[in-house]
Amino acid sequence: MTDAKISIRNLFKIFGEAPQEALAHAKAGMHKAELLEAHRHVLGLRDINVDMQEGEITVIMGLSGSGKSTLIRHLNRLIEPTAGKVVVNGENILDYGDARLRRLRRSNMSMVFQKFALLPHRSVMENVATPMIVEGAKKNDYETEAAKWLDRVGLQGQGAQYPHQLSGGMQQRVGIARALTSNSDIMLMDEAFSALDPLIRTDMQDLLLELQRELRKTIVFITHDLDEALKLADHLVILKDGEVVQQGEPQHILMHPGDPYIVDFIADINRARVLRARTVMTKTTDPVPVDSEVSATATLEEVITQGGGNADLTFRVMNRDRQVGVLPMRDVLAALVATQGVERTEAPAA
Amino acid sequence: MATYDWLFDSTGLRDWCDGEGGSSAPMSMADLMSQAGKAPDTSVWQTPFPSMDALNDACASFPQARDLTRGLERGFLDIKDSLSVVLDPLTQPLSWALEAALWLFQTTPWFVMIPVLALIVAVISRSARLTGLILAAFGGLAFINYYDYAMQTLAIITVCALIAVLFGVPVGIAMSRSDRLERIMIPVLDMLQTLPPFVYLIPLIFLFSVTEPKLYGIAVILYAIVPVVRLTNLGIRMVDPEVIEAADAFGMTRRQKLYGVQIPLALPNIMAGVNQTIMMSLAMVVIASMVSAPGLGVLVLRGIRNLELGVGLVAGFGIVLLAVVLDRSTKAALARVNAVQKG
């Protein structure tokens, strides 16, 4: 069907006493508020279709109640859907029996939780080794492997501690190490950094990106924080009231928000820090007179800093020593207020 | 004339009432007075509730309240024999266990028993003060010649509390896993807990011979099992759902989840239940002395029956001492479980 690692097809989830009845209404076009009003059923997810590519970070973003945590729990069937398909590695996991589902959870998917969800009565080492202990490994078998991942997340020598002796940030490092120990190729992260304070959150995001460069896992990351989403995402899915409002490459969503809801959503972010040169540049490989060079992945903030505040410069945008486009400073400045620009240019057309 | 004659007259049941010949009940004062020809003037204000007895006045065939209790008694006696056939062999091991424990606790000489008890407490509590308290308590009881009685009580509690925990924890676990079982069990537990302790004894006396230890053993266990069942159920249900979710997400089986996550995390609550179970078996073992349970309760009973104030008070004080010792020891064990789990 597709070569995506995980693909979700026509997924519905309805909470209530007679979900199948309510499902018919939802399929007929009812949305969350109407369904609750008319039939006393809560629409968790409505007609979700998302493809998650191997080796990418897919970020699912939405405010509380948007169904993002419900959605991620469908990927390892902690929640059963009302209708639809979840295809992982080409197999519909909803057809799985108990034993096959356990194998999926043990070897294909691991999960990191918002409130860490470590086992308080087990040491850090045992917590990190949980996936191996579940498989029946003894202390000798798991010790080196668990220690390796503890080192990798920066917790050398903390194995003998108990979770409550660690700070929140360190506990979540244990959570990540635990997920890595399972050696699964898919990692589900449910608001993994939301309970941490901002500085530590930034650290953890950097840690995740660093690990990801090395391990190339398929990561599904849930967050309500747009800055975090933009920093991590290769593919961004925005949920609202259980429905996908827009999905795509984050830079693309920023430049072309497809819905007033998203326009509102992205209105408050620091665009200079998020938008990159390659997104705003004019694509050309023709040599043109330029003042300076910037990297394709440089943020606009870096471009402005490099220009020293001069608004008349033009940059050559480089990707691995090859020119991929040019970027006049005027476009940089225009992009900083582009949200309104998009609306203005679209309004007369409509 | 009785108040509710009209009821039977109007429904055409009068024939049925008179058919089986007069009331079987002895005459009441009201009957006598009406026979004497001086029927009392009854005003509306004195209208009796249409109870079984009032209706019996109007209709002799209608059963009296005492027929209800007598019927219950007869019913119980009818099934008693077949019930005994089933229950006797099932509960026989309890008698053996109690007899063995009583024998063991009483034949072990004091200079072995007291140090062993102190050692056990020292190991589970790691507290020198508590160990000292144990030595002082049993030394004191032995000094006033109450040692044997205290040991009998302790032997019964040991067996009964152990069995209560052995059955109570699995029942609590089963309850925590099935909402339906919980709905069924909660009223049963409520009843066991609120039923006056004496009431347990009544059917047991009919079922078993008073000379058998299992008679009081069952009464103590039934009374004491409630808290450990309740708190095991509650403890497992209160385990952080996120941790359970994590256990599921990493593919634990139900068994791995139960033994690796739920029971260890519920352990503080389960231990609190064990503590309560021990306390309640101590309370019941005193009452059970009315049905031949040996121990300090016998002395309390003697104090009441023979008005031996001193004996009753000292025995009561001995029970308090035993309670303090048991409570402190189990709480110390509980505190150590807590210390391991969270700080």
Residues of A within an 8 Å Cβ radius of B: 76, 78, 101-106, 109-111, 113-115, 117-121, 130-131, 133-134, 162, 164-165, 178, 182, 188
* Residue of higher predicted confidence among A341 and B167: B167
Residues of B within an 8 Å Cβ radius of A: 240, 242-243, 245-246, 248-253, 256, 260-261, 264-265, 340-343
CA A128 to CA A147: how far, in whole Å? 8
Chain B neighbors of A165, CB-CB under 8 A? 343
Closest chain B CA to residue A103: B251
Indicate if the pLDDT at residue A348 is higher than 60: no
Among the partner residues A105, A114, A120, nearest to B249 by beta-carbon distance: A105
CA B51 to CA B154: how far, in whole Å? 49
Question: Which pLDDT belongs to residue A84?
Answer: 92
Which pairing describes strands A235-240 and A218-223: parallel, antiparallel, or unpaired?
Answer: unpaired
Question: Which pLDDT belongs to residue B63?
Answer: 86
Question: Which pLDDT belongs to residue A267?
Answer: 81
Distance from CA of A320 to the nearest CA of B (A): 41
Closest chain A CA to residue B244: A117
**What's the whole-number mean pLDDT along residues A259-279?**
84
Portion of chain A with pLDDT greater than 70, in percent: 96
CA B56 to CA B125: how far, in whole Å? 65
Question: Which pLDDT belongs to residue B7?
Answer: 83
Do the Cβ atoms of B249 and A109 come within 8 Å?
yes
Do the Cβ atoms of B243 and A106 come within 8 Å?
no
Q: Which of A119, A126, A171, A186 to probe the B interface (max B CBs under 10 A)?
A: A119
Size of interface A-B (CB pairs under 8 A): 62
Chain B neighbors of A164, CB-CB under 8 A? 342-343
Indicate if the pLDDT at residue B64 is higher than 90: no
**What's the whole-number mean pLDDT along residues B226-250?**
94
**What's the whole-number mean pLDDT along residues A220-233?**
91
Residues B241-281: tens digit of each pLDDT: 999 999 999 999 999 999 999 999 999 999 999 999 999 99
Residues B122-181: tens digit of each pLDDT: 988 888 999 999 999 999 999 999 999 999 999 999 999 999 999 999 999 999 999 999
Closest CA to B243 of A199, A122, A105: A122
Q: Which two tokens stand for residue A82?
A: 């009302």
Query: According to DSSP H, which parts of B178-240 are helical?
Result: 179-194, 197-207, 213-237
* Residue of higher predicted confidence among A286 and A146: A146
**What's the whole-number mean pLDDT along residues A27-37?**
86
3-state class of B252 per DSSP?
A: coil
3-state class of A166 per DSSP?
A: coil
Domains in chain A: boundaries: 54-73+97-266, 271-349
Closest chain A CA to residue B267: A121
Chain B neighbors of A102, CB-CB under 8 A? 251, 253
Question: Which pLDDT belongs to residue B341?
Answer: 65
Chain B neighbors of A109, CB-CB under 8 A? 249
CATH code for B71-341? Answer: 1.10.3720.10
Among the partner residues A114, A134, A164, nearest to B342 by beta-carbon distance: A164
Chain B neighbors of A75, CB-CB under 8 A? none
pLDDT category at A343 given cuts 50, 70, 90 is very low
Question: Which pLDDT belongs to residue B38?
Answer: 56
Question: Which pLDDT belongs to residue B221?
Answer: 93
Contacts of B288 (CB under 8 A, 6+ apart): B156, B201, B216, B219, B220, B297
Among the partner residues B246, B251, B341, nearest to A102 by beta-carbon distance: B251
CA-to-CA dists, residue A76 to A91, A315, B265, angstroms: 13, 47, 24
CA A36 to CA B239: how far, in whole Å? 31
Give residue B87's identity as a one-letter amino acid code. L
Do the Cβ atoms of B243 and A118 come within 8 Å?
yes
Determine whether A293 is exposed, middle or buried from the number of CB atoms within 10 Å of its CB (0-12, 13-18, 19+). Answer: middle
Residues A87-117: tens digit of each pLDDT: 999 899 999 999 999 999 999 999 999 999 9
Q: With contact defined as beta carbons under 8 Å apart, do B48 and B54 qualify?
A: yes
Residues A143-172: tens digit of each pLDDT: 999 999 999 898 988 889 999 999 988 999
Portion of chain B with pLDDT greater than 90, in percent: 57
Which pairing describes strands A57-61 and A218-223: parallel, antiparallel, or unpaired?
Answer: parallel
Portion of chain A with pLDDT greater than 90, in percent: 43
Do the Cβ atoms of A130 and B240 come within 8 Å?
no
Question: Which pLDDT belongs to residue B31?
Answer: 64
Closest chain A CA to residue B265: A121
Residues B300-314: tens digit of each pLDDT: 999 999 999 999 999
Do the Cβ atoms of B243 and A120 come within 8 Å?
yes
Domains in chain B: boundaries: 5-63, 71-341
Do the Cβ atoms of A120 and B265 come within 8 Å?
yes
**What region does A3 belong to: left with phi over 0, alpha with psi -120 to 50, or beta?**
alpha
Chain A neighbors of B249, CB-CB under 8 A? 76, 78, 105, 109-111, 113, 188
pLDDT category at A274 given cuts 50, 70, 90 is confident
- The CATH architecture that domain A54-73+97-266 belongs to is 3-Layer(aba) Sandwich (3.40)
Closest CA to A250 of A264, A271, A240, A241: A271
In whole numbers, what is the pLDDT of chain B averaged over residues? 87
Indicate if the pLDDT at residue A229 is higher than 80: yes
Distance from CA of A134 to the nearest CA of B (A): 6
Distance from CA of B163 to the nearest CA of A (A): 27
Which pairing describes strands A322-328 and A42-52: parallel, antiparallel, or unpaired?
Answer: unpaired
Chain A neighbors of B257, CB-CB under 8 A? none
Chain B neighbors of A133, CB-CB under 8 A? 260
Among the partner residues A109, A119, A165, nearest to B343 by beta-carbon distance: A165
Residues A188-208: tens digit of each pLDDT: 999 999 988 888 999 999 999
Among the partner residues B240, B248, B265, nearest to A78 by beta-carbon distance: B248
Do the Cβ atoms of A121 and B264 come within 8 Å?
yes
Question: Which pLDDT belongs to residue A345?
Answer: 41
Do the Cβ atoms of A121 and B340 come within 8 Å?
yes
Distance from CA of B224 to the nearest CA of A (A): 29
Place of tokens 């479980």: B337
Indicate if the pLDDT at residue B42 is higher than 50: yes
CA B319 to CA A260: how far, in whole Å? 76
Question: Which pLDDT belongs to residue A349?
Answer: 36
Do the Cβ atoms of A102 and B253 come within 8 Å?
yes
Closest chain B CA to residue A126: B260
Chain A neighbors of B343, CB-CB under 8 A? 162, 164-165
Among the partner residues B243, B251, B340, nearest to A119 by beta-carbon distance: B243
Distance from CA of B307 to the nearest CA of A (A): 54
CA-to-CA dists, residue B115 to A244, A277, B108, angstroms: 72, 82, 11
CATH code for A271-349? Answer: 3.90.1280.20
In whole numbers, what is the pLDDT of chain A averaged over residues? 87
Angle between helices B147-177 and B213-237 (to 10 degrees): 40
CA A298 to CA A314: how far, in whole Å? 15
